[in-house]
Structures are given as structure tokens and as C-alpha cells.
Amino acid sequence: MRMRAAIADARDEVLLETYILRDDTLGVSVQSALLEAAARGVRVCVLADAVGSLATNEAFWVTLEAGGVLVRHFHCFWHHPFDALRRDHRKLLVIDRATAFTGGMNIGEEYGSSIHRRRVAWRDTFVELRGTVAGELAAVFAEGWDRARGPVLPGLDYVSWSEGALKPPPRPYAPPLRERLQQQLRTRRDRRHGRRVRCTADTATVDDSAVLVIDPRPGRGQREMLTTLVALAGAARERLWITTPYFAPPTRALDLLASAAHRGVDVRLLLPGARTDVPLVRHAAHGAYAYLLARGVRIFEYQRATLHAKTLVVDGHASLIGSSNLDFRSLWLNAECNVLLFDDACGAALERVYATDLEGSLEITAAEWRRRRWAHRVGDGVARALRWAL
């Protein structure tokens, strides 16, 4: 496991943030790696959501703390009784502020033992990042750590959730996201077709333009996340391929997908099949199928495992990978973390994985969808109407 190997190589600091940290076989193996790092003198901080990790035995946390690991739980009821619905859904591992991992994967056997336990296997996506972006993700960790009353982490600029801005890092000027996306994709299309590339498209350095961290949480960054999704859908000219386990967006989001399909974009949604951990949200997604299918959006349901990946790829170039789902809870109530990458190799890799996932999926056709039973139709309508409460 790459994450355990990275922890084993840590020399100064390990920052782990996750919604679920189980005390099963995989969780214990991660615990051992964290304890070994702490024994080497590495500063090890673990932040787990108090609700997501509620089933984890108290002895698991006690063992970590006894071994020198700093542990905090996000939004414990006795600290934040009025914030019970606001959860830390981020999944982050930052090593020495030089290497980082993020995506949709929690820590539990359903991820690490999928080959041997097919009946409970989960399909997810995680990405490894190196360079200055790791320091940015460490600052994302510090924000949640501050909210969970963790001690100050030295040398980090971050925004305090509770107190407002504390030493906010300087940010270089960047054009609006929609303009930036269109510029990136236009430049790529020009190069591919042998056209002369506009000079203004190459003004940003690779370090500035290759990766953006998008980390919404209640009270900050939510509109920016929505703007990113709108910009990605609007910038697509060839392909817009989305994977999400929980699809219950507002009607305007459906209109965006329909509009892209109307422009001739190949719009595909990869959603969970019957093997889902939240059937009600799947029904809410079903409530939007007829609308989307009638407008040219292709919909696939994954059959091989429980789908939990959250990815989006535009024209094989712009890729969004992270913890955000396309539902009300994720967009407005959760702290999330995503990375937007402008990279052909990453985009091509995601498209290859997407094509492989489609081999294990069933495509839903409009004709087939019209034949579903009336009870299913009623359930879909009710769940769709309740999407804001899911």
C-alpha cells in the first residue's frame, strides 16, 4: 500500500485526515505505521470525523495516543452540539509537506481487501501528489485540525475555521476559473490540430497552472466549488465523464449536463448499481434519469463493487479528483477536499480507468427506463423531492 510506504519514509511529519478510520485489519496496519513513525521522532497528527469514525473502538485511539500520536476528532458533540450535521468528509495524507494523497478513500478493509472480499469490495480513486501542492494540502489539514482543537502546527499558513484568517498565504494573481479552463483546453486543442498557440495562453508557469486545491467547507469555498463544476461543464467540447456515488444535485446542475450534451459533448455519468451503501440517494438519482436520458446524457450503473469514487474528466485534460459528491450534503454541509489537475497524462489515465469501469457497468437506455415498475417510479419521485434532506 503506497500510503503505508509513504508513512514509513516520513522523516519530519505525518498528517492524516479522514472521515472513517476503522479498527479492522487495514486500520490496525495503518495504526502500526503511524506508531512506528512517532517512535522515530516524527510528528504524527490524526484527525478523524467524530461521526464517521464512531464505530471505531476507543482502545484504538488510546493506543495511538499512548504511542505519541496526536489524535483529534472533528465536531465531537460535546464541543460543537449545534454543528452535528457539519462533518469533515476530507481524506488527506500529507508526508513532510512534500508528498500528499487525497481522493475519496476512507481507511477500512472494504478498500484494502477488495480482491479477497468481493462481496464487500468498494471501488474508489485516490491520487498521489508531490511538490508545493503538498504544502497547500497541509494547510487544508491545519484548518480542520484547528477546528478540532489541535495544537498549532509550526510553519503553516492557514485559515482558522473558528477565528477567521490567520497568516493567510499570499496567492499569485490568477484569471477567473472559467477563463482559465477555457484557455487551457483551447491551447491543448490548438496544439493537437497543429495551430499556432496564442502567447497569452502560456503566461502561467507549470507550477501555477498544473494543480488547484479546491477545499470547500461550511461557511467558505462552497460557491467556488459550484463555480468550478459550472466552469468544467461549460468548458467541455468533446467529453465530460463523471463518476460519483451520490448523485442528487439541484435542477440547474441537470440543465448544465443537458446543455453540454446539446452542444455535442459526450456526457457520461457513472453511478452506483444495486450494490450501494445509501439506496435512498440512488433513488434520488433515478428521479433525474428520464430528464437526462431524453437530452442525450448517457448513464451507466456500476456492477462490480460498491462505487465510491468521485472523479470528473474534461476532454482528457482537466481532471477533478477528491471527496466531494454531487449531493446537497457534500455541497453545503461537509468539509471536502478536491484537486483540479490540468495534465494530459492524468486525464488520459482517468479516461482509461473510466473505460475499464464501463466494461463492468450496465448502460441505462431511455426505452428500458420507461418500462420500470410503477412502485420504482413513485420511490424515485419521492426521493428526488427529498434530495435537499439527504
Pairing of strands 164-166, 298-302: unpaired
DSSP string, 38-49: HHTT-EEEEEEE
Residues 8-19 as b/e (b if ≥16 CB within 10 A, e otherwise) read eebeebbbbbbb
Gap between the Cα atoms of 78 and 57, Å rounded? 18
Angle at alpha carbon of residue 150, lines to 146 and 152, rounded to 5°: 75
User: Would you call 118 exposed, middle or buried from its count of C-beta atoms within 10 A (0-12, 13-18, 19+)?
Assistant: exposed
Residue with cell 467558505: 220
Residue with cell 446542475: 253
Active-site annotation, residues:
89, 91, 96, 308, 310, 315
Q: Count CB-CB contacts under 10 A for residue 348.
A: 14
All 3 cell numbers of residue 172? 499569485
